[in-house]
A = this chain, B = another copy of it.
Amino acid sequence: MYSAKIKITLRKSILDPQGKAVEHSIQSLGFKNILDTRIGKYVELKIDTNSDEEARIVTDEVCRKLLANQVMEDYVFEVESVSAGK
């Protein structure tokens, strides 16, 4: 069993109004030294396989086909082996 942790972020060139809104909120709480806030998605999933390589291939395919919009978003992921009960 493998666990994949995927971070999906808007490409740097794409405006992030949600991030801007959060940044304003943070600053109005008094944190004046916070800049460049950007919001993305975080996805965790389990892959029922014993192969590190298969886990990577499947995760990458799921990201490309479903989770990330590659026109606007970038994704990075890491996979690690976990025991089935976890």
Interface residues of A toward B: which range?
Answer: 20 to 34
A62 touches B7 (CB 8 A): no
What is the oligomeric copy number? Answer: 2
Q: A61–B41 Cα gap in the complex (Å)?
A: 21
What B residues does A62 contact at CB under 8 A?
26, 29, 31, 34
How far apart are A75's CB and chain B's nearest CB, in angstroms?
Answer: 10
What B residues does A39 contact at CB under 8 A?
41-43
> Which chain B residue lies CB-closest to A45?
B37
Q: A47–B42 Cα gap in the complex (Å)?
A: 21
Known interface pairs A26-B66, A29-B66, A66-B26; A36-B42 also in contact (CB < 8 Å): no
| A70 lies within 8 A of chain B by Cβ | no
